[in-house]
Structure 1
């Protein structure tokens, strides 16, 4: 047992998995909530019993510092997106290893991160950020690069992301975003318009120590009209992977990620990898045990190792991960909204040879929503098998069952 503490800022979503693993290494763990007004979707993932002490930031940094400065904290980590700014500030104030708060905006603001890449000659998306509808439409018409993508500046989970093929669709998208709150609870003061990158999308997870980036997972992401369809965990080695790894490391360095986990989304275009967005935290909505079953580690276990066993972690810089079993993450899609009267998901999935786990499905009596983004899907399924073709067959059966309405019976509330 050590007398050192780990501080996690906003241990929500995947960040909720960190505290038990640090405790397994003998560390004590404290929690700092970055605001009094955290949205319920995040708060519902928080496990208070995992923490020795908890604190809430009430917009007085000096007061928070006084509360925690005498605790023997060795590292401060952002558990999820909302904790990035505060974790950077606290690390600097307490003179702990962290990311420079002067560049935090590059890691939270989707516009600023692309501007940073542009300034350093790294592949980026053409873009504009606008505070009103008229300027957004004028820019898009002047650029004439339809379709364009409209999105909030600092949300997550494909929240309010729209692919716009003409002025009318862009107006609708801007009205959805401007002056409304996003899914992280922040006000959308403007709208980000970017060129629509054409190609194959990928997710790349990494963990950084002193500016050196370890790639922990590379996922191939297949989408249908902007909604996640299949996320496939790829082997570390490969021609495309090598180019992706090189690019992601350049991006992480450019955005000032010196310490800790990151999650990068990119499009592999005709001109090579181009950033969609990057976050200085772990990948959200991921079943850690499934990833461990596939490659022996996860974004969480590797993040913990970076802080508690840095010498062991450094060895990962020379060797990539090994794909032991194929892993697909399937997002269910609902075409209707209402109240669930029957849920047959588990009984249907148990018949599949590659079925590993399903979560986030609505129970009988709960609401189901038409799927428009990550927040409105009615379930996430993991398929794991040594035979990739078996997984592909099971995936195709899942989509057939879904199309036939075999998973849910829904009572409309319209």
Structure 2
């Protein structure tokens, strides 16, 4: 009797957070996965990969050493599971002669300054910008430009980490000094700070999957944020139809932007602001969306980015036949809430009755707490300091709005805090 053919293998680099959706997506197609991490130690600032889902875990090493180990598995692809893994995934796919974006523009896919400069060189609409390791030079650039607000941010991070909207020189100075010398969520030191012109307009989250330069638009969601001091705080998002409103212009613009950055393969997650001049890139990551929830997206959009990514690599012709040149569909009304707070203290417990009331709301699909007893709750300044996430969907827009309003009333009752004496408050 002939032994069964070995299952094909996909390599995932740094499959943190939503990268955890890739192993089951590949498994559905009969593909095993092998994990590689780009750092000597796992990055505990993000949700860790479930290493039990992998055929093997290749230890950290040089790209050449890692490629040699991976060659034993005869992999079909190398995919970045999260932002820090993008450069290594580019290098490994190149060393193993696999479909990938190559290393020529890897820096522009991680460094936010180089990213925008790549667009500028390609003639693609983009922000004005300047970078420096000196707060006073950043202030001088803003003052010479003579127009506020401006945006100050780390060179390489995510989830609005360290991003500030500044309306004057003192705010620029304070924001720059708050970033310089710190370490971002990917354990990288912020030796320089980026300052950019403020893009006026509505902001959208835009997700694609590419293979050989052929692309599928997986979703466009409009962000709804509010300004809190110098920070724009996430509130919720809503689906933008692909064939009306700003949808077609955003999709056309993203093809130009991805081409300018040399992204011809794999998933991408971008933020775009529709300015009076047209869609303009804030930034793009060559990895899955941080907001991906596969079953929720299946209901709302008719598919999800993890499954489409796996299909593109495992069965390229099927991807090209079914998805290339196409877009998602808006199948229902939906929103993703990221709860903000002004609370500051230690979490004593989660109020089960309040959680039960939220989960019982008719439009609620998923409730995800982000804090556990013993953890610190802080006033929200970015995605990572949101206190919980809730996904809502329904055929009725009014029902979604009703339940959204009720969740806003309940949001600060989810966590019971300790008082100064250590008793529950």
Alignment TM-score, normalising by the size of structure 2: 0.93
Shift of 1:287: 2.2
| Aligned partner of 2:341 among 309, 334, 338 | 334
Give the unaligned 5+ runs of structure 1.
none
Shift of 1:318: 4.2
Residue 10 of structure 1 corresponds to which residue in structure 2? 14
With 145-154 and 343-352 compared, the bigger mean Cα shift is at: 343-352
Q: Distance in 1 between matches of 2:410 and 2:301?
A: 29
Residue 217 in structure 1 maps to residue 210 in structure 2:
no
Q: Distance in 1 between matches of 2:371 and 2:302?
A: 30
Residue 25 of structure 2 corresponds to which residue in structure 1? 21
| Aligned partner of 2:93 among 91, 107, 117 | 91
Q: For 1:35-74, what aligned pairs fall within 5 Å after superposition?
A: 35-42=39-46, 44-58=47-61, 60-74=62-76
Cα pair 1:268 1:274 within 8 Å, conserved: yes
Distance verdict in 2 for CA 1:285–1:185, change over 3 Å:
farther
| Aligned partner of 2:383 among 350, 363, 374 | 374
Q: Distance in 2 between matches of 1:412 and 1:137?
A: 41
Residue 146 in structure 1 maps to residue 155 in structure 2:
no
Q: Distance in 2 between matches of 1:95 and 1:285?
A: 31
Shift of 1:65: 2.3
Alignment TM-score, normalising by the size of structure 1: 0.95
Aligned length: 410
Shift of 1:411: 2.3
Q: For 1:228-239, what aligned pairs fall within 5 Å after superposition?
A: 228-239=234-245
Residue 323 of structure 1 corresponds to which residue in structure 2? 330
Residue 252 of structure 2 corresponds to which residue in structure 1? 246
Shift of 1:46: 1.1
Q: Distance in 2 between matches of 1:364 and 1:253?
A: 46
Give the unaligned 5+ runs of structure 2.
none
Q: For 1:227-306, what aligned pairs fall within 5 Å after superposition?
A: 227-306=233-312
Shift of 1:21: 2.2
Residue 188 of structure 1 corresponds to which residue in structure 2? 190
Shift of 1:343: 2.5
